Structure 1
Amino acid sequence: MNRNIIISAAISGSGPTENKTPHLPITPKQLADEAIAAAKAGAAIAHIHVRDPKTGAPSRDIHLYKEVVDRIRQESTDVIINLRTGMGGDLLLGPDSNPTELG
């Protein structure tokens, strides 16, 4: 039996958690710092949802993801980076006259 354990650290919850605790990492620097700290504490995976630095709300901004990843990699941290949006996808349907014409 394999008894190896893989720890995945969920760095920042998905969804509207920004008002539930003052300890939630929001900025790319805070997210990266928490991922690095989790890796140093033994986590193999850093599960990361980026957030709007101004509001703390979940975000899909690719630049925020890039900054988090770049900061983690600059530290040469041996951690698997698991990026997530957690907000699901958006389906934009066409006008009422032709809803199958996707937006």
Structure 2
Amino acid sequence: MALQPSREAFITCALTGAGDTTGRSDKVPVTPRAIADAAIEAVQAGAAIAHIHVRDPATGKPSRDPDLYAEVVEHIRASGVDMVLNLTAGMGGDLTLGPPEAPLPPDEAGT
């Protein structure tokens, strides 16, 4: 029996984009409340998944602050909407060899 293609789709909404999107548009949500509101609005418009990066509310730059993620999630949960949350740190992967206060240079780290 031949496989039949599925016609079902899941819509994912990347709310803040990656990199310096705030430098390209003043419409990018920055604060945890604005990011949560954008996720809720996307789900109400038909999205199933909210792909979330957080931003430093003071600068709009990408952040990895767990407290900002927690605040976004709290606002979304309080709204009662049903969605899949895809929380991601973004900004590419970082690899630090050695102690954070004195990382090893690449030639000493064996890379």
Both proteins in one fold, TM over 0.5: yes
Partners in 2 of 1:38 and 1:22 — Cα distance? 18
Secondary structure in 1 aligned to 2:38? helix
The alignment's TM-score, normalised by the length of structure 2, stands at: 0.83
User: Contact between 1:6 and 1:43, CA under 8 Å: does it hold in 2?
Assistant: yes
Partners in 2 of 1:76 and 1:83 — Cα distance? 18
The alignment's TM-score, normalised by the length of structure 1, stands at: 0.89
Identify which of 26, 32, 36 aligns with 2:30.
Answer: 26
1:58 aligns with 2:62: yes
The structure number with the bigger radius of gyration is 2
Report what 1:92 is aligned to: 96
Where do 5+ consecutive residues of structure 1 fail to align? none
| One-letter amino acid of the counterpart of residue 71, structure 1 | H
Where do 5+ consecutive residues of structure 2 fail to align? 99-103
TM-superposed deviation, 1:7: 0.3
Secondary structure in 2 aligned to 1:47? strand
Which runs of at least 4 in structure 1 moved beyond 4 Å after TM superposition? none
User: Contact between 1:52 and 1:58, CA under 8 Å: does it hold in 2?
Assistant: yes
